[in-house]
Every structure is written in structure tokens, then in C-alpha cells.
Amino acid sequence: MVTESGQEAATLVPGAENFRDVGGLAARGGRTREGILYRSGNLAQLDDAGVAALGALGIRRIIDLRADEEVSYAPSRVDGLEIVTQRVPLFLGSVASFFEDDISLDEMYRRLVTDSAAGVVEVVRGIVNDQPVLVHCTVGKDRTGVTVALALAAAGVDEDAVVADYARTEGLLPQERSRRIVDMLRSLHPDAVHLEDLATRSPAPVMRTLLADLRARYGSPTDYLLAHGLGDDEVAELRRVLVLEDGHPS
């Protein structure tokens, strides 16, 4: 989203990397509403201005996808805000294991939707239950990227727009941060093939592959969510809250 001042949403909450509103995406019969669903990296580096900015957005629920050790290492700075925090740790096992096993992003995402399907549904249900809502993990790339993509797809957002929103992350991560993380990880895993993809990249073909895999296995991303417990009424409500239909006042 771009505000009237031309300022990217990523700059609106100081200290929150990769922060953005997913409003304005093309959807079946309309576009996604602005000011309803936000996504970002962790909230551990918010300064006072960032905390105030987050509060000014009126967010009612934060869905934190990080594991316990990640939260302990980098606790969110949201004290004083009247926001419900919903914890939904998505990875089974440690984040470090993905680098140790040197798996591809395609494999990581397939494992996430297979092994953590109940958690993915819990995230989508959280989006349905409260808005405005912020979904975040540590960087806002993989766990956040997958769950937000599936929520958007189930709401009827065009696949090209779903993929483009996912792919934006790579360009929003500070280059200095990416270099630092890659250098640190490379010192630990010098021969890893997929290290940079896992740490810093969000290639559009990876999201297209995930969506195609869900179609092949379930029929559609929506059918995947339904197969793991989301209700038809919840899918309908997800579309109602996320999509502004053509011809309707905002």
C-alpha cells in the first residue's frame, strides 16, 4: 500500500522491518481492503515512535508465528497497547534445522503446509476473528509469507497479486541486514547450497510452486484450508472482511 503522501507502509512503523498493508490487491470482483490485514517481521526493535505508530493503526490482534526461543530472544515491544497477541508457532523443530539440512524453499514450504496445517488454519481463523490484524514472524518472509498468501488466495485474491505480495519481501529487507545474516550463516554452513534463499529471498516461482502443489493435492488453497478444519462460513467471512467488492463504498 502507498499512502496519500506517497510514503510506503514499511516506513510507517519505525523499527518494524518488512511492515506493510496488503490492501489494494486485485481480487475476484474487487480488491483487498486497506487497513485490515498487515504483515511484518518481528516487533522487537520498535522505538517509542514505532509503538505509537503501531497503536495508531488500530490493530486489535497480533498473530506471532515465532517459536518460543525466538520470542524469548527478541520479545515484541508492544507494552501499553491494547492488542491481543495470539501465539501460533508454525515450524515443527528449530529454524536452525532448515539451514543444517540445507533444504530448498520449495521443500520448506511444503513441510510447513503439511506438518503445520492446523497452525495455518489457526492463523487464518485469527484473521477472520479480529481486524485490523497483524501477522508476523522473525523476518516476515516465510511463515508470514505462506500464511498470508493462503489467506489472500482463499479470499479470492488473484494469484498474480498473491505471488507479487509474497515476492515484495526480498526488496524490503535491508541489504545490510541481509549481508550480515548471510555472512554469519555462511560461517556456520560453508557448503550450504540453499542458504541465501532461506535467509533472504522470496522468489515468485517458489510461491507459484506452493499454490500449484496445493491445487494438485487438494483442488485449491481454499480446499486445503477446508480439509484441515476451516469452515465454509469462515471462508465466506474471510472474503467479506478482506475484499472490497467493486461498486461498494470503502
HEC readout, 157-206 = ECHHHHHHHHHHHHHHCCHHHHHHHHHHHHHHCCCCCCHHHHHHCCCHHH
The whole-number pLDDT of residue 1 equals 42
The whole-number pLDDT of residue 181 equals 79
Cβ neighbors of 102 (< 8 A, separation 6 or more) are 189, 191, 192, 193, 194, 195
Integer CA distances (angstroms), 59 to 35, 191, 217, 248, in order: 9, 42, 35, 23
Please, what is the angle between helix 204-218 and helix 159-172, to 10°? 140
The whole-number pLDDT of residue 2 equals 38
- pTM here is 0.91
Torsion sign across C-alpha atoms 210, 128, 142, 34: positive
The whole-number pLDDT of residue 177 equals 77
The whole-number pLDDT of residue 4 equals 34
* Cβ atoms 196, 105 nearer than 8 A: no
DSSP 60-117: -EEEE---HHHHHHS----TTS--EEEE----SS-THHHHHHT--HHHHHHHHHHHTH
Classify domain 10-237 by CATH architecture: Alpha-Beta Complex (3.90)
Determine how many CB atoms are found less than 10 A away from the CB of residue 179. 11
User: Which amino acid is located at 195 in the chain?
Assistant: L
The whole-number pLDDT of residue 92 equals 65
Digit-by-digit pLDDT tens for the chain (250 residues) are 433 333 344 458 999 999 999 999 999 999 999 999 999 999 999 999 999 999 999 999 999 999 999 999 999 999 999 999 999 999 866 677 777 778 899 999 999 999 999 999 999 999 999 999 999 999 999 999 999 999 999 999 999 999 999 999 999 987 777 778 777 777 777 777 677 778 789 999 999 999 999 999 999 999 999 999 999 999 999 999 999 998 676 6
The whole-number pLDDT of residue 9 equals 45
Integer CA distances (angstroms), 156 to 25, 75, 110, 142, in order: 10, 34, 22, 21
Q: Alpha-carbon distance 151 to 168, whole Å?
A: 17
Q: Alpha-carbon distance 165 to 3, whole Å?
A: 17
